[in-house]
Amino acid sequence: MLAIMAGGEEADVLRAQPILEILGRVTHGGPSGSGQLCKLVNQAIVAVTIGAVAEGLTLAQAGGADPEQVRRAILGGFADSRILNIHGSRMTERQFEPGGTITNQVKNLDAVMDIAAQAGLQMPLTARVRDLFGALLERGLGYLNHSAVLLGIERLAARDS
């Protein structure tokens, strides 16, 4: 089901809701521009979470544990998420074929950082994960699924050891 994040006058969103609900779940986020802002908030959280999963699985590997078994062990706990379930599985299976691509993730994170700068906000986690995705893009890997951020984290780990 598609998550539809709509901004604008509430009456207008309510009027469009029967049509939009054919596509997915509609949430009115506030005035005009709030739908786009909601999408960017989602992208920031997704990117940081994918990065955290990649770091955790890299730590598991470096410590001698089976990353897939670690992923399974923490499913259902506080770290459980769709990201851990879906992207964590892609990482342990090393299945990075396109879906949500690194190219799109960088584009979205650049938009997040632009909005944050306009608001005078520092977003250190988002900035760092954007740099990780950006490094993969610079290596010509923009076509891979964004779960391939694991490759960048593994590269950093290899360089540090």
Q: What is the pLDDT of residues 48-103, one digit of tens each?
A: 999 999 999 999 999 999 999 999 999 999 999 999 999 999 999 999 987 889 99
Q: Are residues 119 and 56 in the same domain?
A: yes
Which pTM does this prediction carry? 0.89
Phi-psi map region of 30: left, alpha, beta (phi>0 left; psi -120 to 50 alpha): left
Q: Are residues 84 and 68 in the same domain?
A: yes
Q: Are residues 53 and 64 in the same domain?
A: yes
Phi, psi of 122 (to 5 degrees): -95, 135
Number of domains observed in the structure of the chain? 2
Whether residue 107 lies in the annotated active site: no
157 falls in which pLDDT band (50, 70, 90)? confident
Residue 65: domain span: 33-160
At 161 the pLDDT is 64
Q: Are residues 13 and 64 in the same domain?
A: no
Q: Are residues 26 and 43 in the same domain?
A: no
- The residue annotated as part of the active site, out of 5, 7, 38, 39, is 39
Q: Are residues 17 and 83 in the same domain?
A: no
